[in-house]
Structure 1
């Protein structure tokens, strides 16, 4: 432990940047505050363009040796990082809960195990990358995945470490080096990951972490001529700024953006299942990009669905996310709480009715809310709230259901509940979404492509799709003659 170290929930965390295998301070800092109780957790190094440039330089310097490291050795180190995550799983879980307010039980049982799995999956998948050679008029074509270079990864606050490693793991497995810029509202586990990676033997400069405000260091990272890939998860407005910054150098982008996903409930559905899936959308206090926040119910069962939904949602326990019994924790930040409340107030003023919720619980939390009597073109139906706020609309038939479902600028995900397999096939074929769940929700496999359509994003991640982004694909064509054979 050093003079710089913070103690967060009994865990030592270094608040400085991690650049070139060393801790680096900044002249300025920003205060990291826990959403659980508003307590200041400590002062975090506030990066400037100078630290951003130093991190890119470190990544550039480390790239040739890491790119030349055999895949199997890179995979071994990624598995060692996964071992380190599992060894410190409890520490990572409690620090992240303290930092972003998500449920401790979820971090212990699902999120942090998934962090380790991210490293193991992409380490192993990198060893399978192969394309069968093929012939063209007697010439041999050989496809290869070449590391692209330094990558800038910008990640959100709602699932900080899981979403960061969803990008870091394939980037490193591909042979690239990384500069990670975590969200300023939840930076702590990124710092712990830097320690874990170093202990696992990841060479200096291969992973760098720069903390701070995007408005102050974002452009220095995304406009840098030595950056070869940029991956961002967050809002559409920020994505536009990143794209403009990257454009002069034509730096390839992967963008996973917002959503306003529908949950379609047909009259032939198992209503208990439909209600369970709908109430699940309040997970992480509604701070989930994939959340199906627009519930669309066939009008003949809407009244019964609503009755069961209100009963189920009413049993949710809102409180301290460290308590096992808690179902919904606090909102990440007072600014986000104000944003959520503003959306609901404007919706009610425009004629919406709050069946449940519609108000703050206290200065840190918002009540699970269901709004009815909302117009399709209203703000509350069209714009992402990112809080525990759902809307309910009805439809008469499949055509209307699909029309309502697709009538936003987003296309991240959709959920469909029906007892008719043929209907499921018809409707899913007509929906615009990167992921469609039928009679389930949030079942994800890293082998599957993930991403959004329209304003929900650009590109796909997962399996080989991740390596297609983080690599330069090369096709080598070899003639059958011209060799000086002496054998």
Structure 2
């Protein structure tokens, strides 16, 4: 091991940036801490504007050759990256669990295999990306997707590698070069991905990884005049700063932001299914932007729903995420834990009642919580908590349910539990949300558009929508005459 390497459960991770195909150290570092037990994992190179400039320059230099690389060759390399991910699923799983506290069993069985799938999906989609030519008064129109250029991708800490590859994979497939900045609380699997990509044959400078704080390196990246695309997943306040930073260069943005999604439970629903869906919102300690944290239940079944929910929630096992028996791990950071606890304390002081939980546990664990007696205009109902905290409100009519569901500034997702197909059709049509699940939750196909309405985001990811963002779409119109015969 070297001074720039740390070890997590036997897995070596380089703590330096990855720029232009080389490891680059910074003069300063920041400390990476595991949320599981508060142990220090290591010191990570802390980038500044200097590293931002270096990474963008590397991406700019590598762009012409990568953009000119054939679709087939780009797809081949992305499949090789997926092969590399699959070979290192165990390494990636244990490192990410240690770094962000999510369940090891989920990383092994679902998340890391999905990372590989993300690369394969966009590699394959690239090869079939096409728009049929069409005629205009005898002229031929041909639509093409041209690589846009260096892209800055700023990714979150709640599912660091998987969420980042929803961006990295289509950006690379499109022919763009990438500068990725992982969240400073979870930098480690980004470094491992750089190793995997290099081993897969991705040319130097096509993928660059820079680490650090948003205020020190993020602003330099998002305001850089050589950046052609910016994609960000995170909070609304950070997105507002990024938008201002990118405005001077009119850099196109894709923003996947917060949510305050509703779960509507009608009296005709399968109540056991509805309870299961509600308890599922505690997944990843509630650190899921899509989580349906506002449970809206028809008044006639609210008492029975609450009783069953409390029984089901009591069986949820909270503990070390490396333990197979654990259902919920820790929250990411002491700062986040204090934020969650503050939301709950203020809600209780305002008259809310904690039917389940409502308090901190030991370390960085917060008890799964359900609050009732909350007002629609209260902070706990209107603002994203990003922790294992749900609210429960009742409604008496379909119109009231829809009104409550839509009455926030967000519009990321919604979940609906009903046994009536006609009602499902009526209600889903009226909900303001980028994704609506009916009698299910978190089923996502990369062919589908993903994103939010209102303050939940700008743009859509997935399938052709991703390529529409990462490319400059061009229409070429060709006349039927004017050609010389060179026979």
Q: Which TM-score tier does this pair reach, normalised by the shorter chain?
A: over 0.9
Could you say which residue in structure 1 is the equivalent of 2:464?
Answer: 464
- The residue aligned with 1:154 is 154
2:302 aligned partner: 302
Aligned to 1:275: 275
Residue in 1 that maps onto 2:95: 95
Q: Does 1:86 align with 2:114?
A: no
Specify the alignment match of 1:8 in structure 2. Answer: 8
Instruction: Work out the CA distance in 1 between the residues paired with 2:245 and 2:79.
Output: 34
Identify the residue that residue 476 of structure 1 maps to in structure 2.
Answer: 476
* Residue aligning to 1:135: 135
Matching of residues 57-72 of structure 1 within 5 Å: 57-72=57-72
**2:378 aligned residue:** 378
| 1:486 to partner: Cα distance | 3.1
Query: How far 1:363 moved relative to its partner?
Result: 2.6
CA distance in 2, matches of 1:165, 1:486: 48
1:194 match: secondary structure: helix
Q: Quick check: 1:205 aligned with 2:205?
A: yes
CA-to-partner distance for each residue in 1:35-56, whole Å, 9 max, x for gaps?
A: 0000000000000100011000
Distance in 2, matches of 1:41 and 1:11, equals 12
Q: How does 1:4-403 map to 2 (within 5 A)?
A: 4-403=4-403
After TM superposition, give the deviation of residue 443 of structure 1 in Å.
0.3
Q: Secondary structure at the match of 1:127?
A: helix
Asked whether the equivalents of residues 133 and 142 of structure 2 are also in contact (C-alpha less than 8 Å), the reply is yes
CA deviations 1:343-396 (Å, max 9, x no partner) are 000000000000010000113100000000000000000000000000000000
- Partner of 2:407 in structure 1? 407
How far apart, in 2, do the equivalents of 1:393 and 1:432 lie?
19
Checking the alignment, whether the CA contact within 8 Å between 2:285 and 2:388 is kept in structure 1 is yes
- 5+ residue gaps, structure 1: none
Q: How many residue pairs get matched?
A: 487
Once the 2 structures are TM-superposed, how far is the Cα of residue 10 of structure 1 from its aligned partner?
1.0
Q: Distance in 2 between matches of 1:362 and 1:181?
A: 31
* CA-atom RMSD in angstroms: 0.5
Q: TM-score, normalised by structure 2?
A: 1.00
Runs in 1 of length 4+ with deviation above 3 angstroms?
none
Contact 2:20 2:55 in 1 (8 A): yes
Q: Partners of 1:202 and 1:303 in 2: how far apart?
A: 57
Q: Tell me how far apart the structure 1 counterparts of residues 112 and 485 of structure 2 sit (CA, whole Å).
A: 55
Deviation string, structure 1 residues 133-182 (Cα, Å, up to 9, x no partner): 00001000000000000000000000000011110000000000000000
| CA distance in 1: counterparts of 2:429 and 2:135, whole angstroms | 36
Conserved? CA contact 2:37–2:363, under 8 Å: no
How far does residue 3 in structure 1 lie from its aligned partner after superposition? Answer: 3.6
Structure 2, gaps ≥5 residues long = none
The structural deviation recorded for 1:243 is 0.2
What are the Cα deviations for residues 8-58 of structure 1, in whole angstroms up to 9, with x where unaligned? Answer: 111000000000000000000000000000000000000010001100000
Give the TM-score normalised by structure 1.
1.00
C-alpha separation between the residues in 2 aligned to 1:306 and 1:20? 55
- In 1, are the aligned partners of 2:222 and 2:245 still within 8 Å (CA)? yes
Q: Distance in 2 between matches of 1:227 and 1:415?
A: 37
Structure 1 Cα separation of the partners of residues 464 and 43 of structure 2: 39
3-state SS in 1 of match to 2:361 = coil
Moved more, 4-13 or 67-76: 4-13
Cα deviation 1:68-100 (Å, max 9, x = unaligned): 000000000000000000000000000000000
Mapped to 2, the partners of 1:154 and 1:306 lie a distance apart of 39
Q: How many angstroms does 1:2 deviate by?
A: 3.5
Distance 1:229 1:446 in 2: 20
How far the C-alpha of 1:218 sits from its partner, in A, is: 1.1
1:219 deviation in Å? 1.1
Determine the C-alpha separation between the residues in 1 that align with 2:362 and 2:341: 12
Residues 211-268 of structure 1 deviation map (CA, whole Å, 9 limit, x = unaligned) = 0000111111000000000000000000000000000110000000000000000000
* Distance of 1:258 and 1:485 partners within structure 2: 59
Q: Secondary structure at the match of 1:278?
A: helix
Shift of 1:481: 0.6
Q: Contact between 2:77 and 2:201, CA under 8 Å: does it hold in 1?
A: yes
